Amino acid sequence: MPTFLRIDASSRRSASVSREIGDAVEKSWRAAHPGGRVTVRDVADGTIPVIAQKTVEGFYTAPEDLDDDLRAAIALSDALIAEVQAADVLLITSPIYNFSVPSALKAWIDQVVRINRTFSYDGEAFTGLARPERAILVCAYGAEGYLDGEGFAAANFLEPYLRFLMGFLGIGEVETLSIQATTGAPEPLAAQKAALAAAARGLFA
C-alpha cells in the first residue's frame, strides 16, 4: 500500500501558511493514490521532547545490551523511525523561525536521525538508510529575500538544512515549495498560494 507521511511543524493551528500549502500537497497525493495510507505527525503538539542523555545512550548501545530503561528511552525514536521507514513519500511543512527550523521540528529530527537505523557509518563514509523515495518540503518565510540569489539568502537555514538532511538520510528526490512574505500584503500572498496550489496538483500527476 502506498504510504504518505506528513510532518507539520508550525506552532500555528490556524492561519498557518505552511500547513495550508501542505494540505494542497496531501490532497494531490490522495487523489493520485486512492486507498493509500496517510500518517500525519504534528510535531508542534509538544509530544516530542528534547533529546535526553539516556536516549543518546540507547542509540549507541547494541540491541542485545539494552536494558528496560534504555528501551524505554528509545521507544519514541523507534516509533517515529517506523513511521519514516513505512513511507514512500515524506512531506515536511515548516515556517522559518529565527532563520532556521522550529525547535519542535528539530526535536523530531534528533529522534529520527539515528546511527544504524536511518544512516550508517563505516569509518570512512556515511550511507543513508531512510526508505522514502521522495521528500517534499514546504517552506514558509515571513519576509522576502530568503531564496537563492536574493539579498537575505545567507540567513536561510531552513530549506538548505532540510535538503541536506534528506540527502544525508538517503532520500534521492527532494522538491521544495517555498512561499515568502507571509506577513505581507494579502493580494500578493494570495497569488503565491494559488501558484503553489497549482504546483501541488502537478506533483503526483
Q: Per residue in 3-15, pLDDT tens?
A: 999 999 999 989 9
Report the distance separating Cα 187 and Cα 180, nearest Å: 13
Residue labelled with grid coordinates 541536506: 164
Q: How far apart are CA 70 and CA 74, in angstroms?
A: 6
Q: What is the mean pLDDT of residues 64-83?
A: 98
Q: What is the pTM of this model?
A: 0.97
Tens-place pLDDT, residues 99-147: 999 999 999 999 999 999 999 999 999 999 999 999 999 999 999 999 9
147: left (phi over 0), alpha (psi -120 to 50) or beta: beta
Q: pLDDT digits over 139-196, tens only?
A: 999 999 999 999 999 999 999 999 999 999 999 999 999 999 999 999 999 999 999 9
Is residue 205's pLDDT more than 90?
Answer: no
